A and B are shown apart, each in its own frame.
Chain A
Amino acid sequence: MSFINYLSREINCKIVYYGPGLCGKTTNLQYIYNKTNPEAKGKMISLATETERTLFFDFLPLALGEIRGFKTRFHLYTVPGQVFYDASRKLILKGVDGVVFVADSQIARMEANLESMENLRTNLAEQGYSLDKLPHVIQYNKRDMPSVAPVEELRSLLNPNGMPDFGAIATTGDGVFDTLKAVAKLVLTELKRGGAGG
């Protein structure tokens, strides 16, 4: 649920990075954080375990610029990907305006990708949202790993709606900003249409 503040002339939107454990959601946010001017970002918060797995969420507030005199601010969140943190994932999804689904391109993680996508649909449905109506993009991450599935195969499994999708290497930043821009654009376009969620 975006938040329009007529007083400070700001529009705030919430974007959630979703996907299986270790697919690179936190790495996406870290890269964005490292490459953004200090004026355009706030502090990045990571609630993580001692082994740097996301425990509750990562949070990064970002300012993208102005549209018609309104400052656009995006709050980026990641969910914990590990299966047993499902209750936390549901909480983070509340009030979401747009989703980035980060898939792990490695063949060995195909099952985990599908399971996470199914879990996303279920958790959105519980809140009365439908993924088909929610602005979202897909990122095929870890393209640098040795045994990865071809993008076409990932696409046919994970992107039946033909949403914008990107190959990425989050550790080097390949595709990271393309992904972010695409989802931000979809969210703003949805706002213009005056809808949200489902």
Chain B
Amino acid sequence: MTNPQMVMYEEEFNQIQTIVDRVVREANAQVVFIIDKNGQLIAAAGETDQLDTTSLASLTAGNIAATGGIAKLLRENEFSTQFHEGERANIHIQLVGNRVILVVIFDNKTSLGLVRLRVKKASEELNSIFEALLSKVQDPQQSTPFAEITDDDIDNLFND
């Protein structure tokens, strides 16, 4: 298995959600979310109901993947920060620990400087949470609930 399974538990989720909520407040942002590099949404905060977060997550991950590919060609390690400025909305994309992506969407009520500052602090905290989460996942004591499912369970999924 090349990539460890991504798993999310309540404890870590709450820690992550607290950080995401705080970034919305302290950076005065519209929306903040965290996704994994495969485009799965992990946590979100702010005015998310007006946004298609699933689509955003997949496109952002695609964007990071493409930029990562460019970096490799230039023998750069990774371009870990991206910023796109629009007329009303701006988006700041930060790769955290080469594992997850922190996305901040903000308007002119705040400034890029403030967003950067809050993102930097949050990145460090997130990095250690995900590191802890990963070692927990690799712990062989933790079994998946899927070891228990039967072939019938799987078949039933497709019979209704």
**Cross-interface CB contact of B6 among A2, A92, A198, cutoff 8 Å:** A2
Q: Which of B102-110, B122-130, B152-160 contacts A (4 or more CB under 8 A)?
A: B152-160
**Could you tell me how many residues of chain A have their Cβ less than 8 Å away from some Cβ of chain B?**
48
A61/B54 contact (C-beta < 8 A), A95-B37, A188-B157 known: yes
The answer to the question of A150 belonging to the interface, with a C-beta cut-off of 8 Å to chain B, is: no
When each residue 117-160 of chain B gets 1 if its CB lies under 8 Å from chain A and 0 otherwise, what string results?
Answer: 00000000000000000000000000111111101011111101
A94/B69 contact (C-beta < 8 A), A4-B6, A195-B1 known: no
The answer to the question of A12 belonging to the interface, with a C-beta cut-off of 8 Å to chain B, is: yes
The answer to the question of A83 belonging to the interface, with a C-beta cut-off of 8 Å to chain B, is: no
The answer to the question of B114 belonging to the interface, with a C-beta cut-off of 8 Å to chain A, is: no
B38 near A191 with CB under 8 A, answer no
**Could you tell me how many residues of chain B have their Cβ less than 8 Å away from some Cβ of chain A?**
41
A3/B7 contact (C-beta < 8 A), A14-B38, A42-B55, A56-B62 known: yes
Q: Which residues of B contact A12 (CB under 8 A)?
A: 40
Instruction: Determine the residue in chain A with the shortest Cβ distance to B8.
Output: A5
Q: Which residues of B contact A140 (CB under 8 A)?
A: none
Q: A5: shortest Cβ distance to chain B, in Å?
A: 4
B54 near A91 with CB under 8 A, answer no
Q: Which residues of A contact B148 (CB under 8 A)?
A: 68
B8 near A6 with CB under 8 A, answer yes
* Contacts across chains A and B counted by CB atoms under 8 Å: 126
- CA–CA, A57 and B63, complex, Å: 11
When each residue 19-32 of chain B gets 1 if its CB lies under 8 Å from chain A and 0 otherwise, what string results?
Answer: 00000000000000
A3/B158 contact (C-beta < 8 A), A68-B153, A87-B69 known: no
Instruction: Determine the residue in chain B with the shortest Cβ distance to A42.
Output: B54
CB within 8 Å of B: which A11-43 residues: 11-12, 14, 42-43
A3 near B36 with CB under 8 A, answer yes
Q: Which residues of A contact B36 (CB under 8 A)?
A: 3
- CA–CA, A197 and B1, complex, Å: 6
B160 near A192 with CB under 8 A, answer no
Q: Which residues of B contact A90 (CB under 8 A)?
A: 69
B160 near A65 with CB under 8 A, answer yes
When each residue 22-56 of chain B gets 1 if its CB lies under 8 Å from chain A and 0 otherwise, what string results?
Answer: 00000000000000111110000000000010110
B8 near A95 with CB under 8 A, answer no
The answer to the question of A1 belonging to the interface, with a C-beta cut-off of 8 Å to chain B, is: yes
A57 near B62 with CB under 8 A, answer yes
B38 near A59 with CB under 8 A, answer no
7 pairs of A and B residues whose beta carbons are closest in the complex: A95-B38, A128-B2, A91-B65, A1-B3, A3-B6, A5-B8, A42-B54
Give A residues with C-beta under 8 Å from B: 1-7, 11-12, 14, 42-43, 45, 47, 56-57, 59, 61, 64-68, 70, 72, 75, 87-88, 90-92, 94-95, 127-129, 181, 184-185, 188-189, 191-192, 194-198
Beyond A4-B146, A66-B157, A184-B158, list 5 extra A-B contacts (CB 8 Å): A3-B40, A75-B39, A75-B58, A189-B151, A197-B3
